[in-house]
Structure 1
Amino acid sequence: MTTAERDRVHIAQIEEYLTTLSNWGRWGEDDRLGTLNLITPEVRRRAAANVRSGTAISLARNLDPLRPDPLHSGVTNVQRDSKVGEVRHLLGKEARWDAVGEEITLSPHGGNAHLDGLGHYYWDGLFYNGFPASASNNTIGSAHLSVSHATEGIITRGVLLDIAGLHGVPYLERCHAVHVDELLEAERRQGVQVRSGDVLLIHTGNAAALETLGPVYRTANPGPLDGVQAGLDISCLPFLHDRDVAAMGADGTHDVQPAQVDDFDFARPIHAVSLVAMGLWLMDNLDLTALARACEAEKRWEFLFTALPWRFVGATSSPLNPVAVL
């Protein structure tokens, strides 16, 4: 099969998935939560039963203005303007007590752990559930699908599928496309099964690769799609839909890079189909290295997952510090 023929097959499949894997209207015409609807009180109650050792593991990196771009993504807007001696400045004189404050500017989308809300991607002018992209603008942000709708947070059973561990390596080859048969084999190897309402975490070892080898780019002047990383093949999309995954996290940006299709419109199919068609929330750029080691040590890959996005009206994303409790 030539590259052009392969691209036509992939494009036809992605366009089909945008329809056949759609959850539009499943939870009502005005639904803003998408797959987070699958995290019911009963799902949370069962998830709490997965806490055994009580070990808590953060799945994020520090937001550090002195190291604003740890993944070398090119997004470096992490700034802190500290205000030492707030009371002194307010009163114009010294006081027995004083304070330190700050103003913080950051771009959640980018090199640090963050949540992609359903207002992040749209396709042919429409967001998830048919909300028009034209209603969102630079003043109000996301008009219909703000991350602030996730007021109950993401508290549920988490499952780590260790694809790097499946292959016996600390990290996959940078351009490795994870296929659905690898997800199924990881389930069998680990003795765990992804089920409705779960957060699914995919460990490819991207974080370890970056720490060990540094970033790899296709071009000398890289753009947002020029990084080289392991990620999901489009064959994984029906698996996510059929298993009713509530949210998904990866130690990269989910989509394998370079893109599987030489067409910019179809360069991020995991993001496009998940966010727009399925209403599946995504967590990018997690650090899953420590969790993968702990799961291997305890020989279990399910745990209580907690992530509390900020209630920022109009925002399409939120910085995150997800925590897994084993």
Structure 2
Amino acid sequence: MTQSGRWKQRPEGSTWGDFGPDDQLGRLNLITPEKVKQGAAEIREGLAFCLSLPLEYPGGNVLNPRRFPPVLRPTRRGDAVNMNYQLGRDHAGATDVLCDDLVLLHLQYSTQWDSFAHVGSMFDADGDGVPEPLYYNGFRAGEDVVGPSDLTDAGAPEGYGPSTSGARRLGVENMAVKGMQGRAVMIDLHAHVGRAREIIGYDQLMPILEKDRVEIEPGDMVCLHTGFAEFLLELGGNPTHFAVENACALLDGRDGRLLQWITDSGLAALIADNYSVEAYPARPGGDCCAQLPLHEHCLFKLGVHLGELWHLTPLANWLRDHGRNRFMLTAPPLRLTGAVGSPATPVATV
């Protein structure tokens, strides 16, 4: 263990310091050039699959009352709307017609990546008996992940101006620079449990892996197909609380053996087509602990990024029809400095 000036003790089972005292990539360090070449070797047909939902989905704010669909508007050009604008219209013979737009985007509304700054935990890293709000590798709230002090500086902006908050460390730009490209493995939960709301633990997952001959090696990115994103598309942008709260598989974040399997597998990223990868709220776990235990385990302790609301069904069906479960995945987030999450437009190639 490499100790850091930020912490004297690290969470049990964590990777803090394993990749260096100032590491911000976590298990992405396991996506080596060799892993990228392994991903490229899975390209046999040259077929590409878009794994993103349309960014206006799921629709409404049933899944999260704080997140809303994107607002797309044209920019202004003086006193005119900059859409179908004839450039040089005061000049005889000018032929250019221009469009330009902007978007107000909640970064984790639709298909997305979670950065390590998305979920932290209270932990006594100083060894003084007092827990502090921390993030992966001991980066600190208020120093490395900074928010505004005034509520008027949160929520949708009234105008334009520089941001004074955000992730000074652990932001999604680190993922973008890394590239998020390598070999991925599909676990097709939907093929075994359908659209039933099943909470999948270690004992349910292992037989599925064995039956489908799924092997996961260190540095692989793992995708969980539950059918939830396909279900959202069928709902046509009008999901209801009852529909989304009673559909499709989720992982059991309270299952210690499942969390240990994530640790032991060496997977570099964990991705699902459902809302939060794990069941939320988590089943009761005593009088302590995280409300999002799998998020805490992956984002805070292990340095494993999470992907949510990916559209995996067409790819999962193709892989099953062709007796495969591995593919090349390219999925960088926006290179948006300081963001704690980001939309993604992942592409799988087989």
Shorter chain as denominator, the TM-score bin is 0.7 to 0.9
**Matched residue SS, 2:24:** coil
Determine if contact 1:178/1:231 at 8 Å carries over to the other structure. yes
**Matched residue SS, 2:73:** strand
Q: Which has the higher helix share?
A: 1
Letter matched to residue 72 of structure 2: R
Q: Does 1:217 align with 2:225?
A: no
Counterparts of 2:305 and 2:318 in 1: how far apart (Å)?
25
**Which position in structure 1 is the counterpart of 2:174?**
149
Q: 2:283 aligns with which of 253, 260, 264?
A: 260
Q: 1:248 aligns with which of 270, 274, 285?
A: 270
**Which position in structure 1 is the counterpart of 2:139?**
131
Q: Does 1:322 align with 2:346?
A: yes
Q: Does 1:116 align with 2:114?
A: yes
Counterparts of 1:53 and 1:90 in 2: how far apart (Å)?
44
Counterparts of 1:160 and 1:315 in 2: how far apart (Å)?
28
Aligned-pair distance for 1:93? 3.7
Determine if contact 2:87/2:97 at 8 Å carries over to the other structure. no
Matches within 5 A, 1:141-180: 141-150=166-175, 151-167=177-193, 169=194, 171=195, 173-174=196-197, 176-180=198-202
Letter matched to residue 295 of structure 2: H
Aligned-pair distance for 1:217? 3.5
**Which position in structure 1 is the counterpart of 2:7?**
none
Q: 1:232 aligns with which of 251, 274, 284?
A: 251
- What TM-score do the two structures reach when normalised by structure 1? 0.82
Where structure 2 has 5 or more consecutive residues not aligned to the other structure, the ranges are 1-9, 76-80, 123-132, 149-163
Q: Does 1:296 align with 2:304?
A: no
Letter matched to residue 231 of structure 1: L
**Which position in structure 1 is the counterpart of 2:41?**
49
Letter matched to residue 149 of structure 1: N
Q: Which moved more, 1:67-76 or 1:20-29?
A: 67-76
Where structure 1 has 5 or more consecutive residues not aligned to the other structure, the ranges are 1-17, 219-225
Counterparts of 2:284 and 2:241 in 1: how far apart (Å)?
17
Counterparts of 2:288 and 2:111 in 1: how far apart (Å)?
25
Which string of whole-angstrom CA distances, capped at 9 and with x for unpartnered residues, describes residues 194-219 of structure 1? 1111110011222244455774637x
Aligned-pair distance for 1:109? 1.4
Counterparts of 2:187 and 2:16 in 1: how far apart (Å)?
28
Aligned-pair distance for 1:52? 1.1
Structure showing greater Rg: 2
Which string of whole-angstrom CA distances, capped at 9 and with x for unpartnered residues, describes residues 236-271 of structure 1? 211111111111110111111342127796321111
Q: Does 1:99 align with 2:109?
A: no
Counterparts of 1:31 and 1:165 in 2: how far apart (Å)?
38
Q: 1:33 aligns with which of 25, 36, 61?
A: 25
Letter matched to residue 113 of structure 2: L
Give the 4+ runs in structure 1 shifted more than 6 A.
89-92
- What TM-score do the two structures reach when normalised by structure 2? 0.77
Determine if contact 2:19/2:26 at 8 Å carries over to the other structure. yes
Identical columns (%): 31
Aligned-pair distance for 1:33? 0.5
Q: Work out the number of aligned pairs and report it.
A: 296
Cα–Cα, structure 1 residues 201 and 113, in superposed 2: closer, same or farther, change >3 Å? same
Letter matched to residue 76 of structure 1: F
**Which position in structure 2 is the counterpart of 1:278?**
302
Q: Which moved more, 1:247-256 or 1:185-194?
A: 185-194
**Matched residue SS, 1:45:** helix
Counterparts of 1:88 and 1:211 in 2: how far apart (Å)?
34
Counterparts of 2:325 and 2:60 in 1: how far apart (Å)?
27
Cα–Cα, structure 1 residues 268 and 216, in superposed 2: closer, same or farther, change >3 Å? farther
Cα–Cα, structure 1 residues 297 and 88, in superposed 2: closer, same or farther, change >3 Å? closer
